[in-house]
Structure 1
Amino acid sequence: QYAKPRSADNETRGEVTLPAYRGDLINRDPFTLADREPDPTLMLRAYERAALTLNFIRALTDGGFADLHHPEYWDVSFAHGSAYAEQYTKIVESIRESLNFVSAITGVESEVLRRVDVYTSHEALALPYEQAQTRQVPRRPGRHYNLSTHFPWIGMRTAQLDGAHVEFHRGIENPLGIKIGPAMTLDWLRGLLDVLDPAHTPGRITLIHRMGATQVASKLPPLVEAVKATGRTVLWICDPMHGNTETTASGIKTRRFDKIIDELEQSFTLHTQLGSRLGGVHVELTGEDVTECIGGSRGLDELDLERAYKSRVDPRLNYEQALEIALRVARHVRPKI
């Protein structure tokens, strides 16, 4: 994670206090004064790595990495013996049957199903980095776009109505995301919408709620109702990760899979009851076999965390847990499965 908002400006170990690690865009992780000093050249290194990563992703998608014609690659054996094993298998089989049907009717294997369009998104936290890549583009005079990403979003720690981050996002034409947590008030949210979307443009604003499994039922409905009352068309996304972060007795930062699922499924239900629609899910994941989040059909526990905990910031879902999340989402998209 190249830019990380921190709750404290400094970190203390023993009798030594140094600036907090704020991500590889700003400073370095080792606990030394030299590493924790902000280094502007790191922005150049981050840009280079972002470009390399995007080119790698483009090569993968052009090579058929996202080809849906191979659902058999989706290994759900990890769910064997769980209550959802049969449902997961049926979902994968239904995808295979649908693709075979399309091929049989059209006589071709649709290219649309072999490739995906890739869009990028990140929290626009380090304003010098974002501003350096903000400019007007050809054939759209007078409009400024943040070219560091397609879809920048604002975190609650930088969402002050009179703050620099809101002012920056007010001036760009990109679609915008706003993270909203339990501390978000109705007036604060209405104020953000008025500043960032004065023209009530459909698609301009995405609201990403991250309440936590224990608070989503009480905190989300008033916010949904308040947005509906403004007459705006927004996209709602659930982030079931950040509101469910905890620290174990041994000091390891983790998340419980059951709580992630709980908040996600509550959110689907609440939006339906409120006449709204949950349009997306935001998760932190990796394709690696890490052990950073507890639970899932594999039954990872706290002792497993030490086996393959690699993240230097937030705990991520591993491949199996991420696939299980996707399959659970599919149950809401197609409830009869």
Structure 2
Amino acid sequence: MKRLLATTTAAALSLAMFATGCGVAADETAATVDGTDISTRTIGELAESSEILKNLQIAATSRDGVVNAEAARAALGQVVQVRAIEAFVERFGDGVTEADRAAAEAISTGATDEAFASLTTDYLAANNALTRLSDSLADMAPEEARSELFRWTHRSIGATHCIEAALVDGAAAEQFGAAVGTDAPLADIDAEAIEFTPLTDGEECHAEAVLTGFVTPIRNAPIGSWYSEEITVQGMTYTMFVKKGSEEATSLDNPATVELIDGIMSSGQTTQFLQFAAVSQARVAIDPRYGTWNVDLGAVDSPLRPTFPAASASNEPSLEDLLGAA
């Protein structure tokens, strides 16, 4: 798995631990994860924690006594991730045990906020259970271990797409599109005449699990001809060009799926991949006043149609604005 795998695996396997905080009078349901409710009060307390505000580089609440909505979304995203891992180990393992929690509590986090310290303990305990599930594969024969890991994660691995792909800066997109036409191979494009960043070395086949950040245009691309769509990568907007040769459902008969699973186990990244799978497979429902759940990034995006007042004392609305509090 050549260039594209190298550039995207780290993003696919990362599970960032943020901090957040906030205080809301009403105790409604902010989100539901695999049947477990997350209250607005929990999110409010987390969104006011100094750890989350520091991580987001927010010096203080947006207005005196009012919680920053960006911090609330970060808090909600973090709680969703933790609850998703808890549900995952309950479904496929023996859940979070008292021993997992005791081991987590024995680790000093240095958190100054009770709400954030509690969330950190929940995360560490769930991760202990996830590590135990991962370690159980070592006691199995190779084919059995591959089959089990596939059973746990196949919904996250996704379909396999065989593609050629490139990123093109906006100014050169029209020129690049004219050069590739309908089906010209990437190798025929003069890199000195047109500036672009190849994401593949010829046609490569990858499962969706390693295509984080690029999945949407790849899914949208028809088979057999070049397709383009604007995407944002690390804050920069590019036009992504994709030519998809084929698309195949996830299966252990699929060589790309087997290569991915075997590569994860041999690299010692099984626990990290299970974290990714737990979050991406979770059934998540977010109160739309907070935003929308981005399953590819495992985070809460801003609401598409904010309901906060136009005249605000800050650029970012408060959580009370979003929830319609008086």
TM-score exceeds 0.5: no
TM-score by length of 2: 0.27
- The answer to which structure has the higher helix fraction is 2
RCO higher in structure (CA 8 A, sep ≥6)? 2
| TM-score calculated relative to the size of structure 1 | 0.26
